[in-house]
Amino acid sequence: MAAIAVSLQDGETKSFPSGTTVTEILKDLVSGKQRKQTVAVKANGALLDLSTPVTSDLTLEPISVFSEEGVDILRHSTAHIMALAVKELFGDQVKVAIGPAIEDGFYYDFDREKPFSPDDFELIEKKMAELAEARLPFIRQEMTRAEALRFFEQLGEPYKVELLNEMDAETVSLYTHGQFVDLCRGPHVPDSSWIKVFKLLRVAGSYWRGDEKRQMLTRIYGTAFADKKELQQYLTRLEEARKRDHRRLGKQLGLFTIQDQIGPGLILWQPRGALLRRLIEDYWKDEHYRNGYQLLYTPHIARQDLWKTSGHLDFYSENMYAAMEIDEVMYQLKPMNCPFHIGVYNAEPHSYREFPIRWCELGTVYRYERTGALHGLMRVRGFTQDDAHIFCRPDQLEEEIFNIIDLNLHILKTFGFDQYDVYLSTRPEKYVGSDDHWELSTQALKQALEKKGLTYQIDPGEGVFYGPKIDIKIKDQLGRSWQCSTIQVDFNLPERFQMTYTGDDGNDHQPIMIHRALMGSLERFIGVLIEHYAGAFPLWLAPEQARIMNITDDQGAYCDQLYAQLRARGIRIDKDLRNEKLNYKIREAQLMKVPYMLIVGEREKEEGTVTVRRRDGQNLPAMTPEAFVDLVMDECDLGKA
């Protein structure tokens, strides 16, 4: 039998008979503890099951079940075990769709006349535990696509048949464990005994292939870990996330509402939410003015021809709403603000001496999102971008990117975000513009990041169709990442719209256009803020900074006077003069996350003071209204520093 040479990275090379499985090879190359934790291996960049026979020289990299890749494999295998449990419990009345590993867990989609509910979890989890104890091996086999089609047709699994019909591959891989067979690339854990620490979490409706016109399936979400402690920590984080859910807090705090009568994905801002939004917008405008930007306002619709010129109809039409006819001309809602800013630019000639030109707009745009993808403020159909476009000369490009990054990080830090991940997204498969322009743009972004000393990751192929971009994903108090900021370099739109400026040589030149959004969608950013602070905003952002409350009706007139005085000084204040017990009023103010409660009794009325209580329960000494104003102003200035 022919021999093969196998080694670990930076390890000794040994010979084995061709066809020796990875498991047998690891017995010779890997020590006990590491071998027991190895769930799969990587060979020449490809993940392999431990049962794979090796027939050529390879360098193997063991994948620990505690690593990110190892946990993904464990979770994917757990999804398969859950599907087997469901099939054994509910039989032919259930058809299976897909079941991948996802961030923090896994899911599997099922077609069942009676949808699953959390009431079914205990039964399913019990069956999963039994299957885990049975040490069922995950057995991989290959079939031709035609053989696999016949196989799943005989099983009566229409969703697998549809997937196979759309594949181009001549052969496909299947995995069997117990009586369950699934169409899958793998790899998987060696057997079901690895699946010990898991939890089913929730159910949701999911249209097959994300298409509202297709069958509604039931999606069961779960998670799995290699360690019980990690599962418990995760469940604790989930509970904390539930408490911070912006949809629940948005209702509790009276910030926003979404109503079916208006339409899904369309936000109605209530007075407190509108005030919060105004505070953010005012700060944003002030910071941009200080950094050399000018404010624009543009329409919500435009002639369809504009979107043809910009390329959006060719590259973005699936995210745009249908055209409407006005005076026998087709118009469409805007998905972007960029062409409007170009229209302002092209309204008059420009000289190289004017550059850079920095224009910004809080522009509301409209993009189609499937109903199943909508999620509170995080994913909506109409949202406001904190948009800006910079027009500059080539010699100014790097400095402008520097300036954008500095302003970006300053604003994020002001809102309490100083942890983030940075990504450089490169050219996608479908793009416009010359390769030279793409290379120049990508290098400009890359050099700016490196000169700023920012650690970043390459995100291959995730640039927009007209140019590469920098994406900044902020991290909230729970360590979750949220896409907000983006910086994009664009040679394409200036060329499409024939933008020019007169250079110092007297000739026409094409400006470079930089697109950037610092908070991204204002709606999503506010949703992240709500969850980051659990609704307890810092004082400078709080829609209601203080609430006056009397002890008896005798202090009512003084409270009214105090309310008018503090409101005139710019304090965002409310009053609670109801004939209720003081502790009840305090509790209600705490539930509304009001930073300060101003308590007025007979002594405060006589002395012209207030007793101040923080929302965390700390009591401050009695002070004059003027002293309280100074306290608020100082704290707000410190918060925005």
Residues 37, 46: Cα–Cα separation, whole Å: 19
Cβ atoms 148, 183 nearer than 8 A: yes
- Comparing CA positions, the residue from 477, 520, 481, 529 lying closest to residue 279 is 529
- Comparing CA positions, the residue from 389, 427, 341, 342 lying closest to residue 514 is 389
- Comparing CA positions, the residue from 491, 585, 509, 584 lying closest to residue 547 is 585
Burial class (CB in 10 A: 0-12, 13-18, 19+), 271: exposed
385 is catalytic: yes
Cβ atoms 563, 548 nearer than 8 A: yes
Q: Report the SS3 class of residue 559.
A: helix
Cβ atoms 387, 423 nearer than 8 A: no
Q: Of 358, 389, 437, 593, which is the active-site residue?
A: 389
Residues 92, 155: Cα–Cα separation, whole Å: 9
Alpha-carbon Rg for the chain, nearest whole angstrom, is 30
Cβ atoms 361, 402 nearer than 8 A: no
Report the amino acid identity of residue 103. Answer: E
Q: Of 244, 515, 516, 572, which is the active-site residue?
A: 515
Pairing of strands 139-144, 3-8: unpaired
215 is catalytic: no
| 210, 215, 218, 221 alpha-carbon torsion, rounded to 10° | -20
Cis ω for the linkage preceding 187 (within 30 of 0)? yes
Residues 447, 402: Cα–Cα separation, whole Å: 10
Length of the chain (residues) = 641
Q: Of 72, 120, 386, 387, which is the active-site residue?
A: 387
111 is catalytic: no
Q: Of 332, 385, 396, 488, which is the active-site residue?
A: 385
Q: Of 272, 277, 341, 469, which is the active-site residue?
A: 469
Q: Of 80, 277, 367, 575, which is the active-site residue?
A: 367
469 is catalytic: yes
Cα separation of the two ends of the chain: 73
Q: Which DSSP state fits 455?
A: -
Tokens encoding 208: 């097959």
Tokens encoding 509: 């030149």
Three-state SS letters, 238-259: HHHHHHHCHHHHHHHCCCEECC
484 is catalytic: no
Cβ atoms 144, 154 nearer than 8 A: no
Q: Of 184, 338, 360, 392, which is the active-site residue?
A: 338
Cβ atoms 566, 578 nearer than 8 A: no
Please enumerate in sequence order all residues whose Cβ is within 8 A of that of 327, keeping only pairs 6 or more positions apart, or say none: none
Q: Report the SS3 class of residue 575.
A: strand
The secondary structure element, H or E, covering residue 570 is none
Catalytic machinery residues? 338, 367, 385, 387, 389, 469, 515
